[in-house]
Amino acid sequence: MLAIKYIPESKINDERLAEIRTNMKTIATIKHKNIVQLYDAIRTTNSLYFMMEYCNGGDLYNYRLKQGGKLTEVEAKKFLKDIVAGYYMLYNLGIIHQNFKPENILIHDGVAKIADFFYYPLFDFVKCKTLVGTHLFVISQEILNGEKFSSKCDLWSLGVIYHQCYKDKLLIPKKPDLI
């Protein structure tokens, strides 16, 4: 069984599309139990489709809602450990996610997996300066200080995800605001 992510080509400029094509082979080779496996990408005349591993538990945002809005300390720590293990792999490959949030963490058989880094290129840490993603998770001190986006910003986002899952039941946004 596969999951398919669909992105209208109108949302991807030519430069981004070229970056995606360039990095697709590398990204498809990433195999880690805490990273959603990308199998293939197909471009049609007006859309881009990513074929990836299906995760039976849905995303962390909805999983948390089903648990009453807050996870137990044990479960939150287990998911954080899973996410950090996957992030370590991405970090070692020079990939900055830029959009960590509960909706981009998928659950499969009780294991948390990082998703939706597929269409971000393998970034040179010093080139990233654009603000991508959801306000609450992206606004790290580095961004507020006008610094370039880096792995530090991803780590900030991971901390906010953990805080939301375990510590703060009130930080459940109804609909994430995208920049």
Domain boundaries along the sequence of the chain: 2-167
DSSP strand pairing (38-43 vs 47-53): antiparallel
- Sign of the four-CA dihedral 132, 136, 138, 144: positive
Please, are residues 99 and 156 in contact by the beta-carbon 8 Å criterion?
Answer: no
| pLDDT above 80 (res 172) | no
| pLDDT above 70 (res 109) | yes
Confidence of residue 54 (pLDDT cuts 50, 70, 90): very high
Specify the CATH architecture of the domain 2-167.
Answer: Orthogonal Bundle (1.10)
pTM above 0.85, yes or no: no
Q: State pLDDT tens for residues 80-108.
A: 999 999 999 988 888 877 778 888 899 99
